[in-house]
Amino acid sequence: MVQHDILFTRHPANPILTAKDWPYSINSVFNAGATLLPDKSTLLLCRVEDRRGHSHLCAARSVNGVDGWQIDGKPTLPADPEKYPEELWGIEDPRITFVPELQKYAVAYTSYSRGGPGVSLALTKDFHTYERFGVIMSPDDKDAALLPRRINGFWALIHRPMTPLGAHIWISYSPDLRHWGGHKLMLEARRGAWWDANKIGMSPPPIETPRGWLMIYHGVRRTPSSSIYRLGLALFDLEQPEKCLVRGDSWMFAPEADYERHGDVQDVVFPCGYTVGADGDTINLYYGAADSSIALAHGSIRCLLAWLDANGHSEQANDRRQRQT
């Protein structure tokens, strides 16, 4: 008997992409950014780990977003440590945002430098050629995505700097995508026994809804034997995105299937992208499973918001409750 709400339903064909599908030799494929192309086909920009342990990005395209993937025959965006030394140990976990003002896709990704992982940005029109901006958030920082439009005249980047006091979600602003400031704490990891204690990060880019930016974020529960990556929900003000309106208490998606529980890193579900169906409500969530494959689950934006209404609290209420713990 299931007594909790099921917000995302796994596709029966899961995992939809694995190393065996790749046209060249790799170790694993996971954590893919996603977008719909102008012809309504789906593009996944996949994190591919080679057999040295370094990652690059490779595009896979499909008409229905489920199967028939056309995978680039070589890395689409290889690390380029000659020109970009911060990419020495590879590039990981891309998040794609289509930016109407630029008529380009912004890809925020982790560049793994000698100084730790940082956030890099590239713009592309076609996922064939890229304009690289280099590191825009210095290490240790990851889990970043650009918002699709300016907020009060400034570009906005959500990201996750790491500190000895915890890993929380921040938002920063820029007039030109190169110089960043106005840093604000957006969502804090909880503490103690919570599923999202100490370390959280944004998963895919936030979903713009009439009620606010809807964020799917991951919470990392450290256990004596390993870590569990689960997903929660929070909603932020449209014009002041650092303001959290409501945050869910419990997680809403967690590793359960065998391909999520077992792999190179056990117990990980890690979405970096989604597409929205023609109905404007269906969300197709693409997630890395156990750092080994790519899986797909379907949900409804309306149901996610209704779940938050029923299961969430405002940040003021959460602050009060935190102080009591």
Q: Rule CB under 6 A: which residues touch ligand BMA? A: 31, 92-93, 229, 265, 268, 270, 288, 291
Q: Shortest gap between Cβ of 30 and ligand BMA (angstroms)?
A: 6
Q: Specify the residue, 92 or 141, whose C-beta has the smaller distance to ligand BMA.
A: 92
Is the CB of 77 or the CB of 246 nearer to ligand BMA? Answer: 77
CB of 214 to ligand BMA, least distance (A): 21
Pick 167 or 245: Cβ nearer ligand BMA: 167
Residue placing its CB nearer to ligand BMA in the complex, 129 or 227? 227
Token pair for 201: 């990060």
Minimum Å distance from CB 45 to ligand BMA?
A: 14
Instruction: Kindly tell me which of 69 and 109 has the beta carbon lying closer to ligand BMA.
Output: 109
- As given in the structure block, the two tokens for residue 302 are 């309306």
Q: How far is the CB of 229 from ligand BMA (least distance, A)?
A: 6
| SS (HEC) of the chain | CCCCCCCCEECCCCCCECHHHCCCCCCEEEEEEEEECCCCCEEEEEEEECCCCCEEEEEEEECCCCCCCEECCCCCECCCCCCCHHHCCEEEEEEEEEECCCCEEEEEEEEEECCEEEEEEEEECCCCCEEEEEEEECCCEEEEEECCCCECCEEEEEEEEEECCEECEEEEEECCCCCCEEEEEEECCECCCCCCECEEEECCCCEEECCEEEEEEEEEEECCCCEEEEEEEEEECCCCCCCEEEEECCCCECCCCHHHHCCCCCCEEEEEEEEECCCCCEEEEEEEECCCEEEEEEEEHHHHHHHHHHHEECHHHHHHHHHCC
Among residues 175, 181, 247, which one has the least CA distance to residue 216? 247
Cβ proximity to ligand BMA, 93 vs 188, nearer residue: 93
Smallest distance from ligand BMA to CB 286, Å: 13
Sheet holding 55-62, edge to edge: 28-36, 42-49, 55-62, 70-71
For residues 261 and 313, which CB has a smaller minimum distance to ligand BMA in the complex?
261
37 vs 265, beta carbon nearer ligand BMA: 265
> Nearest approach, Cβ of 155 to ligand BMA (angstroms)?
24
In this structure, the chain runs to a length of 325
CB of 149 to ligand BMA, least distance (A): 27
Q: Which residue is nearest to ligand BMA (CB)?
A: 265
Please state the closest distance from residue 116 (CB atom) to ligand BMA, in A: 12
